[in-house]
Amino acid sequence: MPRTLPEPSVDSFDLTVILSALADPGRRALMTALYRSPEPIDCAVVVEKADLGLSNPTISHHYRVLREAGLVRSVAEGRKRIISVRHEDMETRFPGLLQAVLGDQ
């Protein structure tokens, strides 16, 4: 049975935390790949597409930082983690931010 991992509410989004999460080049590359995906995607597939050359623990850390900042939603399905960008939530709290940071890279 799928379960959504803990994430902050829209009201608790903090712009400083979000921008800090996006400041790291590895996390920004992951976010760009996720942002361009039309649907939720297995986190391992995103890593293959982004070709970051980072260790698995580092990538797991990056996903956790992105999730805790409120940028992505992670759903655990057995051993898989399905990741999606929280487009609507981000637009509600900070309209245009994701497009400005990730849209035209």
Distance of alpha carbon 105 from alpha carbon 2, whole angstroms? 32
75, pLDDT greater than 90: yes
Per-residue pLDDT tens over the stretch 17-74: 999 999 999 899 889 988 988 888 888 777 666 677 777 788 889 999 999 999 999 9
Torsion of CA 14, 18, 20, 23, to 10 degrees: -160
How many independent structural domains does the chain possess?
A: 1
pLDDT at 97: 95
Give me 47's structure tokens. 């890593």
2, pLDDT greater than 80: yes
DSSP 78: T
Distance of alpha carbon 99 from alpha carbon 90, whole angstroms? 10
Give me 20's structure tokens. 């800090």
- In order of 26, 40, 43, 84, 103, the CA distances from 60 in angstroms are 11, 17, 9, 15, 24
CATH number for the domain harbouring residue 62: 1.10.10.10
1, pLDDT greater than 70: yes
pLDDT at 50: 64
Q: Which domain holds residue 37?
A: 3-102
pLDDT at 67: 96
